[in-house]
Chains A and B, each alone.
Chain A
């Protein structure tokens, strides 16, 4: 359980240390991609806790969601419609749902056996 969190921290440190910066005009795409990635990550966690986890689904979903979100934002920019808002909305809703499910599962597990951690 701790390894993914450690990986997240490692990624953040790596990103901060390497001082990578993307051009201002692409920051929209990256933000939407980050949202998609977070959503996928939480979805994966939820699936894992529900014992529905599938490695292939998770990894493919991760990249597919990111690409879809970024291309949606790209299309929105070129159509003059803020299409990325659709992605933000969809991912935001799913994010909250996933978090709610995770919270419930964790809560249920904790009330069942308080001393036993995952």
Chain B
């Protein structure tokens, strides 16, 4: 009986001792840090400063590495692809383009107005023809009344109203902005082209401006639908 008592007591004592020791160690821990004298602190600061400078050097190295990677990346295929994509977007009319160009203004003939003749709205065929003509003379970017002309642009009459991609063209004047790398040539050729005479028959006058520097053609606003386009399968 007495032995049992002692064992129970001993077990509890061991647990208490263990708890005491753990508590002692836990509480004691911060006090060690506070007993450093000035010299030790100085050494500590020095060590920390060294660590800091080492880390700074490391940061600098890593930044240099990052910038070198950046350079490599800019010369990589991805950039080439991106560039191509940008060029394609520019070509397909999805970006704003600024450059040398001319402004063609179509408005009713003043004489016809004087004579009281009815001015019909512009015929889509005529406009299409003008665009074809412009394209023939190496026009690169065209916009009509702020609507960009792209490959899929539709110019047609809907309920007697000429529309370009759904945008009505019933009001005069109609402004056509044309950008080209050889503006002078384009201007000269369009001035003498037959399409101008066609406009004249419809009681419309066509004014071709002098070459304008920094003419801006807006991007195509609608989404370009490529219904029948599919990525080619692997060969």
A interface list, Cβ under 8 A from B: 3-16, 19-22, 24, 27, 30-31, 33-34, 37-38, 40-41, 44, 48, 53, 55, 58-59, 62
Quick check: is B14 within 8 A (CB to CB) of the other chain?
Answer: yes
Quick check: is B11 within 8 A (CB to CB) of the other chain?
Answer: yes
Tell me whether A11 and B14 are in contact (CB under 8 A): yes
Select the residue from A10, A11, A15, A20 with max chain B CB neighbours within 10 A.
A11
Q: With A8-B17, A12-B21, A48-B5 in contact, do A58 and B26 touch (Cβ < 8 Å)?
A: no
Tell me whether B8 and A15 are in contact (CB under 8 A): no
With a CB–CB cut-off of 8 A, which chain A residues contact B21? Answer: 11-16, 20
Tell me whether B18 and A59 are in contact (CB under 8 A): no
Tell me the complex Cα distance, A44–B9, Å.
Answer: 8
With a CB–CB cut-off of 8 A, which chain B residues contact A38? Answer: 16
Quick check: is B80 within 8 A (CB to CB) of the other chain?
Answer: no
Quick check: is B167 within 8 A (CB to CB) of the other chain?
Answer: no
Tell me the complex Cα distance, A31–B24, Å.
Answer: 9
Quick check: is B4 within 8 A (CB to CB) of the other chain?
Answer: yes
With a CB–CB cut-off of 8 A, which chain B residues contact A19? Answer: 25
With a CB–CB cut-off of 8 A, which chain A residues contact B19? Answer: 11, 15, 30, 33-34, 37
Tell me whether A27 and B17 are in contact (CB under 8 A): no
Q: Chain B residue with minimal CB distance to A10?
A: B14
Tell me the complex Cα distance, A21–B18, Å.
Answer: 11
Q: Chain A residue with minimal CB distance to B6?
A: A3
Q: Which of B13, B18, B22, B24 contacts A4 (CB 8 A)?
A: B13
Nearest 10 interchain pairs by C-beta: A11-B17, A15-B21, A7-B13, A7-B10, A11-B14, A12-B17, A8-B13, A11-B18, A4-B9, A4-B13
Q: How far is the CB of A36 from chain B (nearest CB, A)?
A: 10
Q: How far is the CB of B126 from chain A (nearest CB, A)?
A: 85
Tell me the complex Cα distance, A10–B5, Å.
Answer: 18
Tell me whether A11 and B9 are in contact (CB under 8 A): no
Q: How far is the CB of A66 from chain B (nearest CB, A)?
A: 9
Tell me the complex Cα distance, A14–B10, Å.
Answer: 14
10 CB < 8 A contacts A-B: A4-B10, A4-B13, A11-B16, A11-B17, A15-B22, A31-B27, A41-B16, A53-B5, A55-B8, A58-B12
With a CB–CB cut-off of 8 A, which chain B residues contact A13? Answer: 17, 21
With a CB–CB cut-off of 8 A, which chain B residues contact A21? Answer: 22, 25-26, 29
Tell me whether A55 and B14 are in contact (CB under 8 A): no
Select the residue from A12, A20, A27, A58 with max chain B CB neighbours within 10 A.
A12
Tell me whether A22 and B22 are in contact (CB under 8 A): yes
Quick check: is B59 within 8 A (CB to CB) of the other chain?
Answer: no
Tell me the complex Cα distance, A11–B16, Å.
Answer: 7
Tell me the complex Cα distance, A4–B14, Å.
Answer: 8
